[in-house]
Structure 1
């Protein structure tokens, strides 16, 4: 089974799960961790969630920011089998990972990253004509 854990500073990951489920419906394989909102050890909290898995489960952990304390702490888990860490959490990335039916997890992650990059644009610079009737 493939599971996704969203991990962020404060409540970003909780809001992300809520937003994803508003669009896609309930996601049984999606969980979140809000770091530094309570006096708990982040690494230990994630380890507990990971230890509850079958050894063949694939776990994708998505963190909020590269080089941030959440990402740095969770990178220590990469020694574990079938743990994959992705950073730069955004709604499109999470949805792409959830809706993909690719069996190859590395290909799935790489494709999701590329697709989510396409959604990051400086909209003012686009040659898009916005008509009043579109609103």
Structure 2
């Protein structure tokens, strides 16, 4: 089983987990980290390292909300210091739900990240444009 850490600004990670649990039920393999204005980068890094300690890094994927944001930067620093989890930025609900529903038992973490990335991008739909074209459902 792959483990996941959601690392975001504020309480967004915790809310993503709560929202996903509304849809799929209780989730055991997700930990959450929230970077707040009251938390220094050093404190944030220590907190993330403690979360990572509880995982098998070969099967860990960290999802962040914003490339270049504080959570993503801390995770990038951890990779540069020798950690070896997979890091993917751009967390959205379709991406997270794919992680929770896909059969990833025979996938490497890199293969799973590729699938998650595709699901995240596919979840972005210009509904206004679809309506303008007169398309009510998927093309």
Q: Which band: TM-score by shorter chain?
A: 0.7 to 0.9
Aligned length: 128
CA RMSD in angstroms, aligned pairs only? 1.9
Q: Which aligned segments of 4 or more residues in structure 1 are displaced greater than 4 angstroms? A: none
The 1:37–1:22 alpha-carbon spacing in structure 2 relative to 1, beyond 3 Å, is farther
Gaps of 5+ in 2: none
What is the TM-score with the length of structure 2 in the denominator? 0.83
The 1:8–1:19 alpha-carbon spacing in structure 2 relative to 1, beyond 3 Å, is same
Gaps of 5+ in 1: 131-135
The CA deviation at 1:129 is: 3.8
The CA deviation at 1:38 is: 4.5
The 1:52–1:116 alpha-carbon spacing in structure 2 relative to 1, beyond 3 Å, is closer
Task: Tell me the residue number matched to 1:70.
Answer: 71
State whether structure 2 residue 34 is matched by structure 1 residue 31: no
State whether structure 2 residue 31 is matched by structure 1 residue 49: no
The CA deviation at 1:37 is: 5.7
- Give the conservation status (yes or no) of the 8 Å contact 1:64–1:89: yes
